[in-house]
Amino acid sequence: MTTAFPDTSRLREDKLALRDLVENWVLWRDAGLWEKFRTVWHDDGRMMATWTQGTADEFIAMNRAGWDKGVSILHFLGGSTVEVSDDRAITQTKMTISQRAEVHGVLVDVVCTGRFHDFWERRTGRWGLCLRQPIYEKDRMDTVDPAARLELDPEVLARYPAGYRHLAYLQSSIGYPVKTDMPGLMGRRVDELYATGTQWLAGEPIAWGGYRWGD
């Protein structure tokens, strides 16, 4: 009797390739290398961010426009977990989002800690990003000058979930419409995201953020 074992070498290669794509997303986006950044995505890729939700091309166009206006958003990555099932994969990667801007005339930094929850698919031999949905766990706002004084409007702050309320406060103050129901560390929305990831790995069609994949 013979026992079938998984192809661990291919799985290892897939995991390395996916981690490489996660890292390329951050390095190329934060450096403004837009043509390279586009290669991370499939044509039907979608980005769900606090300040914009749409196609990969729309996301890139808005980032380029913000870049030209001096919008400062940077990312830092931590560890990843990678789940692969045939030609589909889910990755989760610890990250921080750091944004600098003026709020009420005071220069501040907001740092938001969370995870990138990514949906990948291999098509014609190439892994590409179908959907990125960040999970926002906690955030804070600090004045760049420690001696500066800043007072936030508590009613505005309370409009947004605890995981990204300071980030939302900053982004809304510079004119971005901020989505108010993004997944956090716990709760219904993150449970729905995990369930959608399970469906994706099982090869089922999924729907998220008004879009569908796998029909």
> 91: how many CB neighbours lie within 10 A of its CB?
23
Pair 26, 77: CB distance under 8 Å: yes
pTM for this predicted structure: 0.93
Pair 166, 154: CB distance under 8 Å: no
Domains of the chain, start order:
8-198 (3.10.450.50)
Any idea how long the chain is? 215
Helix (H, G, I), strand (E, B) or coil at 211: strand
**Residues 147-184 pLDDT 10s:** 999 999 999 999 999 999 999 999 999 989 999 999 99
Torsion sign (Cα): 86, 13, 207, 78: positive
Q: Which of 215, 204, 4 is nearest to 85 (CA)?
A: 204
Torsion sign (Cα): 38, 44, 48, 52: positive
Q: What are phi and psi of 63, to 5 degrees?
A: -65, -40
**Residues 73-124 pLDDT 10s:** 999 999 999 999 999 999 999 999 999 999 999 999 999 999 999 999 999 9
